[in-house]
Amino acid sequence: MKIAGETVLLTGATGGIGRALAARLAEAGADLIVTGRDGEALRALADRLGARWVTADLADPYDVEHLAKECAGTGILVANAALPASGDLLEYTPDQVDRALAVNLRSAVVLARLLAPAMTEAGRGHLAFVGSMSGKAATPHSSLYTASKFGLRGFAHALRLDLRPAGVGVSLVQPGFVAEAGMFARTGAPLPRGARAVTPDQVASAVLRAIAHDRGEINIAPLKLRLRCALSVQFPSVAAWLQGQGAPDDIGRRIVDAQRASR
């Protein structure tokens, strides 16, 4: 699907990946709408790119519905917003659990539900979801975040089957560790040993490619991580055993440290 001239709604626009996506979508000629919680940062980004902006807290069901109404006529949704939500589940309150699931999963589902009918009526449109390689493989101390990303992956693939006959595309882009963005970049915590990162621009390029060519899933990560995740999908017990042969808690500890520093 061509991006030029289409109304594109981008969530999570003020984060590292979000800013890269906003710039690339604007360059591609989108009639861009950016959204996030930080109104000041959002307005500055929108002014720089010539985009429209709508503030919204995607943990708030009212804000999600209001956003969909304000952005009626959207031809392409890029659902990028997410909370880190890593660490020991036992350290989260029920309200914090609800907020993480609301932002990472529910908001994407509801926005798709509210925006897709106009797309199906028109016989064209695209829904692009930015997930994570955590949607394919479990790691220690990531149960809440992993749950949201596993759910997003399943939702995107099933919705793709449902909307294909109507001419509406659905894509899922899953990055691994991202440099210059996310909790590791915000806190300065080092990546886990042996981990290699991708850049926000690589993720943005993958999203644009997924939309243009209606790709069901694109994984943006070094080959070693992609192979490990593929093994986890088919043989989760074997993958867990292999993790235990090395430094099983290294990734988990790094994520927890970064998560705590970002709170």
Q: Would you please indicate which residues are annotated as catalytic (active-site) residues?
A: 145
Question: What number of other Cβ atoms are within 10 A of residue 39's Cβ?
Answer: 13
Measured N-to-C along each axis, helices 39-49 and 16-27 cross at an angle, to the nearest 10 degrees, of 20
Spatial distance between the Cα atoms of 123 and 254, rounded to a whole number of angstroms: 45
Q: What are phi and psi of 140, to 5 degrees?
A: -60, 150
Spatial distance between the Cα atoms of 169 and 239, rounded to a whole number of angstroms: 32
Concatenated DSSP letters of 24-72: HHHHTT-EEEEEES-HHHHHHHHHHHT-EEEE--TTSHHHHHHHHHHTT
- Which amino acid does the sequence have at 186? R
Q: Which residues contact 213 (CB under 8 A, 6 or more apart)?
A: none
Spatial distance between the Cα atoms of 220 and 205, rounded to a whole number of angstroms: 10
Question: What number of other Cβ atoms are within 10 A of residue 79's Cβ?
Answer: 26
